[in-house]
Amino acid sequence: MAEGCMMALRYGMVFFNLLFWLGGCGILGVGVWLSVTQGNFATLSSSLPSLSAANLLIAVGTIIMVIGCLGCVGAVKESRPLLLTFFILLLLIFFLEILSIMLFFIYQDEIDHYAQRDLKKGLQLFGTEGNVGLTNAWMIVQTDFRCCGVTNHTDWFEVYNASRVPDSCCLEYSDNCGLDNPGTWWTAPCYERVKDWLNENLVALWIFALCTALTQILGLVFSMTMFCQAVKVETFYA
């Protein structure tokens, strides 16, 4: 009976962690592709220049792959140290995610203020040498969200020291259209546009968060159950 339970748990753990590992491979692959083809794509922060979509995906993909590999090897070998390590790492990540969500809601106003200030500071690096990622990110955001500046199109006036904006702010794109009159520019603030987009997709974000949490809980349950069974089996045969 005990051997049958261990066999079922082993297959469950291997299948679960194989999916986990493949997911990590996919995320890592997308991150590497973005890094190679787009450089520091989606780098908007001046204080955290390494916080790009590519770097985040590479980091997340690598972590998932390592944890998935630990779980797979631990299940196949019925290694208590590896199973326990898998459980502790997954539990730590789970608690960090919960803590991050709680802190976000508690300090939402402060985060908003800091993010806007940091983004405005980052505007000063637009178009400068070595900041291709930030420049491309602003061009994409303003074009896709039909917005201009962080809180207002006048944010760009301080960057250029003149009444002009990047060409990506124009209703109809053309070279040097940012020099034309303000009636040809988007006036909606990008920060609010992105927040509105997130609010519109809040249900999808919560479903994704819930699925992620359930996946992690299943991993925790599988690993701890298998660890306890391994201890029982070893005690029984001892």
104 Cβ contact list (under 8 Å, min separation 6): 111
User: Of 54, 12, 9, nearest to 31 (Cα)?
Assistant: 54
Whole-structure pTM value:
0.75
Q: What pLDDT shows up at residue 236?
A: 52
pLDDT value at residue 92: 92
Specify the pLDDT at position 79: 81
pLDDT at 20: 78
Q: Round to whole Å and give the CA distance between 171 and 148.
A: 10
Burial class (CB in 10 A: 0-12, 13-18, 19+), 73: middle
Which pLDDT score, from 0 to 100, does residue 45 have? 60
pLDDT at res. 39: 53
Give CA–CA dist 140/52, Å, rounded.
14
The tens-digit pLDDT sequence of the chain (238 residues) is 556 666 777 777 778 778 878 888 888 887 777 767 655 445 656 555 556 667 777 888 888 888 888 888 888 887 888 888 889 998 998 999 899 889 988 998 898 898 888 888 888 888 887 777 778 888 888 999 999 999 989 999 988 888 899 999 998 888 888 887 788 899 899 999 999 998 898 888 888 888 888 888 888 888 888 878 766 655 555 5
